[in-house]
């Protein structure tokens, strides 16, 4: 059954259709939540919350063709809420490395990955969300603005600043490595 | 491939490697377990019906906004040599009354948090809001002095533009409004299901029209026109009349005669006030890439940048300060930021970046124009991810 049919059935309260619909989107939702929140446990909660809200509010979806965009927005809200909740609960939140690097990574790529990880952690959740939507999901900047509910200029600014911060983090790391090599030569 | 493209590719590849390929089974199982005990929201007249997508009015709004926005961008490009500050003060012919905003002495330097926006001289005639599944959004405001303020479709831009009607144009709009026969009382017009028919579920924000009353009050009319024909719903003559009126508003260029306009070319909206949001967050890059120091800005208001407005979040990052300033103060802030060489991050929405090198922090300052006769939205700290 195609997604549109599942959506229309679920909108009418068909729980089996909703289960199938949720199963079809949960992996992508979880991946986005992990990337934004940098924490598996928080991503678990945000993804669950999103699925529950999708079910609860599905009748309010005006246009089934907008389902993906609507769910993304619910997920971002859930991530934001989860971030706020966790900050209240534990101010010194531990941000875990998310995924083991592939064995094909070179040592240079590993260093870059570490530098990106550090740079990415230092971004605000809003900036991380903009980066994930743009670079991971491949949304255009207007689509990022639409998904996050911010003006186009703000979305553009977030992607711009975050990209600049990550680039600078990599370059700073490279300069550090060069200095190290210079010192031992 | 450019250097930027290369780096974008690096980030995209890194994110793909970081993303878990699938969710643990417990996530879906736990969610569906919770769903089993949750009912869907179906109560309330605004969420009972529908299933149909965007109304014709919304599509017309998008087209009208796009036309206005393109014209606005053209104007901006032609004026690109001007400063941002000056671009906020359009001077349409015969518009001196509207652009003569209050002029407090800049030496007073009041604290921003104590400043209320100056009330506009021109009363509201009407305001049109459109809706989608994410909520209501401003489409058009018409003031008694002839100013017509249009906001582009959400997600495409947020640069309100304004034009000005002549008295004849205002009169023609009044006639159109009166012809609906619906503008003298507040009401909701939503689809009513035919007996024995199960309508498809529907929700989202309805369209809304606010009309100023002579006595100072406001008539508020909301409607949703379900354009699935008459298969599920009773005829909706009121909603159709309002929808038609909304379409007329959004296509003024198509039916108003030329002499109905005092100024038909859109110019940037000259706000009476701005919401100013200042976000401070850790900077992960080279200090060389940070904008000018915040201390180098001759901030025109008391308390400086760090003491501006109210702190909107007690914990967490970025820290957000927010306050409302009037048009003159907004211009002074923009001028001060431009003079300090602050990095401008957008052409159409005044937004700047500064730095604090000692604490390795990025400081961004956005100035969001406030529409006439609306409350200052400082309670929403510049982050619409929040509910």
How does pLDDT run across B102-118, given as a tens digit for each residue? 333 232 333 343 333 33
**A14 and A36: one domain?**
yes
Q: What is the pLDDT of residue B361?
A: 84
Tell me, yes or no, whether A81 and A124 share the same domain.
Answer: no
- Asked whether the predicted pLDDT for residue A127 surpasses 70, the reply is yes
Residue B51: CB partners within 8 Å, gap ≥ 6?
Answer: A8, A11, A62, A64, B199, B200, B201, B202, B228
Could you tell me the two tokens for B39?
């009912």
Our CA-based measurement puts residue B1 at a distance from the nearest CA of chain A, in whole angstroms, of: 17
- Angstrom distance (rounded) from CA B380 to CA B371: 16
Residue B80, burial from CB neighbour count under 10 angstroms (0-12, 13-18, 19+):
exposed
Q: What is the rounded distance in angstroms from the CA atom of residue B211 to the CA atom of residue B184?
A: 8
B48 close to B199: Cβ distance less than 8 angstroms: yes
A88 and A115 housed in the same domain:
no
With CB atoms and an 8 Å threshold, state whether A30 touches B200: no
- Asked if residue A54 and residue A107 are part of one domain, the reply reads no
* pLDDT of B17 strictly over 70: yes
Query: Smallest Cα–Cα separation from A43: which of A121, A105, A96?
Result: A96
C-alpha span between A151 and B366 (Å, rounded): 11
Pairwise CB contact (< 8 Å): B383 & A143: no
Query: Angle A67-89/A15-37 helices, nearest 10 degrees?
Result: 50
CA B235 to CA B111: how far, in whole Å?
55
Would you say A157 and A56 are in contact if contact means Cβ atoms under 8 Å apart?
A: no
Condensed to tens digits (0 to 9), the pLDDT of residues B25-52 reads: 999 999 998 888 877 765 433 332 233 3
Please answer whether residues B140 and B250 qualify as being in contact, where contact means their C-beta atoms are separated by less than 8 angstroms. Answer: yes
Share of chain A above pLDDT 90, in %: 26
Mean of pLDDT values over B289-296: 88
Q: Mean pLDDT across chain B, nearest whole number?
A: 73
pLDDT score of A88: 40
Q: Determine the 3-state secondary structure of A106 from DSSP.
A: coil
What is the percentage of chain B residues whose pLDDT exceeds 90?
28
Better-scored residue on pLDDT, B348 or A92: B348
Distance CA(A152)–CA(A29), nearest Å, equals 23
Average pLDDT of every residue of chain A:
76
Alpha helices in chain B (DSSP H): 3-18, 25-35, 56-78, 84-87, 96-99, 167-180, 237-250, 252-255, 327-339
Who among A73, A102, A135 is closest to B11 (CB)?
A135
d(CA A98, CA A35): 8
Q: Do A164 and B156 touch (CB under 8 A)?
A: no
Region of poorest pLDDT, from B3-12, B64-73, B193-202, B301-310: B64-73
Question: CA A39: distance to chain centroid?
Answer: 11
Q: Name every chain A residue with its beta carbon within 8 A of the beta carbon of B28.
A: 22-23, 26, 51
Write out the two tokens for B270.
Answer: 């000259």
CA B332 centroid distance within chain: 22
Least confident of A18-27, A146-155, B122-131, B350-359: A146-155
With the C-alpha atoms ordered B248, B253, B254, B259, is the resulting torsion angle positive or negative? positive
- In total, chain B counts a number of residues equal to 387
Nearest to B32 among A11, A19, A154 (CB): A19
Question: With 50 as the cut, is the pLDDT of residue B268 above it?
Answer: yes
Residues of B in contact with A38 (CB under 8 A): none
Listed residues A45, A63, A94: the one ending a domain: A94
Tell me the shortest Cα–Cα distance from B103 to chain A, in angstroms: 29
Calculate how close chain A gets to B228, using CA atoms only, in Å: 12
Contact B343, B353 (CB under 8 A): yes
Which one of A65, A164, A165 has the shortest CB-CB distance to B53? A65
Mean pLDDT of the A62-88 span: 78
B77: pLDDT confidence band, cut at 50, 70 and 90? very low
The mean per-residue pLDDT over the stretch B43-66 comes to 44
Residue B85 has pLDDT above 90, yes or no: no
With an 8 Å Cβ cutoff, are A168 and B284 in contact? yes
Name the domain count of chain A: 2
- pLDDT band at residue B155, thresholds of 50, 70 and 90? very low
Instruction: Provide CB contacts within 8 A for A93, sequence distance 6+.
Output: A39, A86, A87
B89: distance to nearest CA of chain A, Å? 20
Residue range A132-173, pLDDT digits in tens: 999 999 888 878 887 877 777 777 878 888 888 888 777 776
Neighbouring CB atoms inside 10 A of A185's CB total: 5
pLDDT at A161: 82
Same-domain status, A88 and A110: no
- The answer to whether residues A165 and B284 touch, using CB atoms and an 8 Å cutoff, is yes
Q: Which two tokens stand for residue A49?
A: 């919350």
B149 pLDDT band (50/70/90 cuts)?
very high
Record: contact B362-A13, CB cut-off 8 A: no
pLDDT of residue B315: 62
pLDDT higher than 50, residue A10: yes
Better-predicted residue by pLDDT, B191 or B230: B191
B76-80 contacts: CB < 8 A, separation 24 or more?
Answer: B76/B268, B76/B347, B76/B348
CA B68 → CA A183, B150, B157, B319, distances in Å? 60, 8, 11, 35
Q: Which of B10, B289, B387 lies nearest to residue A164, judging by beta carbons?
A: B289
CATH number, domain containing residue A133 = 1.10.10.10
Contact criterion met (CB < 8 Å) for B11 and A56? no
pLDDT exceeds 70 at position B75: no
Q: Is the dihedral of CA A153, A158, A163, A164 positive or negative?
A: positive
Domain boundary among A94, A126, A143: A94
User: Could you tell me the two tokens for B252?
Assistant: 């003024």
Q: Is pLDDT larger for residue B341 or for residue A146? A: B341
Considering the domain architecture, whether residues A74 and A4 belong to the same structural domain is answered as: yes
Confidence tier at B175 by pLDDT (50, 70, 90): very high
- Look at residue B94 and tell me whether its pLDDT is greater than 90: no
Count of beta carbons in the 10 Å neighbourhood of residue B114: 10
Asked if the peptide bond before residue B318 counts as cis, ω within 30 degrees of 0, the response is yes
- Whether A59 and A128 map to the same domain: the answer is no
Residue B180: what are its φ and ψ, rounded to 5°? Answer: -70, -25
Residues A38 and A113 occupy one common structural domain: no
Specify the pLDDT at position B333.
95
* A2 lies in the same domain as A84: yes
pLDDT band at B166 (very low <50, low <70, confident <90, very high): very high
Q: Is the Cβ pair A136, B12 closer than 8 Å? A: yes
Task: Specify which residues B325 forms β-bridges with.
Answer: B274
Which pTM value belongs to this model?
0.50
Q: Comparing C-alpha atoms, which of B376, B377, B353 is closest to residue B366?
A: B353
Domain hosting residue A47, numbered range: 1-94
Query: How far apart (Å, rounded) are the C-alpha atoms in residues B4 and B334?
Result: 29
Question: Closest Cα of chain A to B385: distance in Å?
Answer: 5
CB under 8 Å to B310, separation ≥6 — which residues?
A: B113, B321, B322, B323, B378
* Minimal Cβ distance to A167: which of B7, B47, B157: B7
| ipTM computed for the complex | 0.82
Specify the higher pLDDT residue, B314 or A125: A125
Q: Is the pLDDT of residue B156 over 80?
A: no
Cα torsion B263, B266, B268, B272: sign: positive
Q: Are residues A106 and A179 in the same domain?
A: yes
CATH number at residue A9: 1.10.1740.10
- Residues of A with Cβ-Cβ distance to B6 under 8 angstroms: none
Would you state the pLDDT for residue B66? 52
Domain positions in chain B are 56-268, 273-369
**C-beta atoms surrounding B115 within 10 Å:** 18
Contacts of A156 in chain B (CB under 8 A): 345-346
Q: What is the pLDDT of residue B205?
A: 67
Check whether residue A113 and residue A83 sit in a common domain.
no
At A27, the pLDDT band (50, 70, 90 cuts) reads very high
pLDDT tens digit sequence for B216-229: 889 999 888 766 66
The listed range with the strongest mean pLDDT (A6-10, A171-175, B277-281, B380-384) is A6-10
CA A164 to chain B, closest CA, distance in angstroms equals: 7
Residue B372: name the closest of B327, B333, B341, B328 by CA: B327
Least confident segment among B71-75, B231-235, B366-370: B71-75
Q: Do A15 and B34 touch (CB under 8 A)?
A: no
* Whether residues A123 and A37 fall in one domain: no
Given A51, A72, A94, the domain boundary residue is: A94
């Amino acid at each position: 059954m195609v997604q549109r049919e599942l959506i229309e059935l679920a909108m009418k309260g068909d729980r089996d259709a909703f289960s199938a619909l949720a199963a079809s989107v949960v992996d992508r939702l979880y991946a986005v939540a992990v990337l934004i929140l940098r924490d598996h446990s928080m991503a678990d909660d945000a993804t669950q919350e999103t699925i529950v809200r999708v079910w609860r509010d599905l009748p309010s979806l005006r246009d089934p063709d907008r389902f993906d965009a609507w769910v993304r927005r619910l997920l971002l809200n859930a991530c934001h809420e989860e971030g706020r909740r966790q900050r209240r609960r534990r101010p010194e939140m531990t941000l875990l490395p998310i995924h083991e690097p592939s064995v094909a990574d070179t040592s240079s790529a590993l260093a870059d990955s570490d530098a990106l990880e550090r740079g990415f952690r230092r971004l605000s959740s809003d900036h991380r969300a903009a980066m994930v939507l743009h670079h991971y999901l491949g949304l255009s900047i207007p689509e990022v603005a639409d998904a996050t509910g911010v003006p186009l200029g703000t979305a553009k600014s977030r992607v711009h600043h975050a990209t600049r911060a990550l680039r600078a983090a990599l370059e700073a790391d490279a300069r550090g490595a060069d200095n190290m090599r210079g010192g031992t030569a | 491939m450019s250097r930027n493209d290369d780096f974008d590719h690096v980030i995209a590849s890194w994110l793909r490697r970081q993303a878990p390929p699938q969710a643990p089974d417990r996530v879906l199982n736990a969610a569906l377990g919770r769903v089993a005990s949750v009912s869907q929201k179906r109560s309330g007249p605004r969420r009972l019906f529908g299933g149909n997508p965007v109304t014709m009015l919304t599509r017309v709004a998008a087209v009208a906004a796009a036309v206005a926005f393109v014209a606005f961008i053209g104007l901006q490009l032609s004026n690109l040599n001007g400063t941002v500050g000056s671009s906020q003060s359009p001077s349409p012919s015969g518009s001196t009354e509207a652009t003569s905003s209050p002029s407090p002495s800049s030496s007073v330097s009041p604290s921003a948090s104590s400043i209320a926006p100056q009330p506009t001289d021109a009363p509201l005639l009407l305001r049109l809001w459109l809706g989608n599944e994410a909520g209501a959004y401003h489409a058009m405001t018409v003031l008694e002095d002839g100013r017509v303020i249009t906001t582009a479709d959400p997600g495409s831009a947020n640069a309100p533009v304004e034009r000005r009607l002549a008295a004849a144009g205002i009169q023609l709009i009044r006639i159109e409004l009166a012809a609906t026969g619906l503008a003298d009382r507040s009401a909701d017009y939503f689809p009513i299901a035919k007996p024995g028919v199960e309508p498809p579920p529907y929700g989202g924000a309805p369209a809304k029209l606010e009309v100023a009353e002579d006595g100072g009050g406001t008539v508020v009319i909301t409607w949703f026109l379900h354009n699935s024909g008459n298969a599920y719903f009773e005829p909706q003559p009121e909603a159709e009349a309002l929808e038609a009126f909304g379409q007329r508003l959004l296509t003024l260029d198509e039916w108003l005669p030329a002499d109905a306009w005092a100024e038909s070319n859109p110019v940037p909206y000259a706000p009476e006030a701005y919401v100013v949001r200042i976000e401070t967050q850790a900077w992960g890059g080279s200090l060389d890439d940070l904008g000018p120091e915040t201390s180098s800005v001759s901030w025109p208001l008391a308390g400086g940048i760090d003491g501006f407005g109210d702190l909107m979040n007690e914990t967490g990052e970025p820290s957000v300060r927010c306050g409302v300033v009037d048009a003159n103060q907004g211009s002074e802030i923009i001028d001060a930021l431009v003079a300090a060489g602050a990095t401008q991050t957008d052409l159409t929405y005044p937004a700047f970046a500064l730095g604090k090198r000692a604490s390795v922090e990025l400081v961004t300052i956005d100035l969001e124009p406030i529409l006439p006769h609306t409350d200052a939205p400082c309670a929403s700290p510049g982050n619409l991810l929040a509910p």
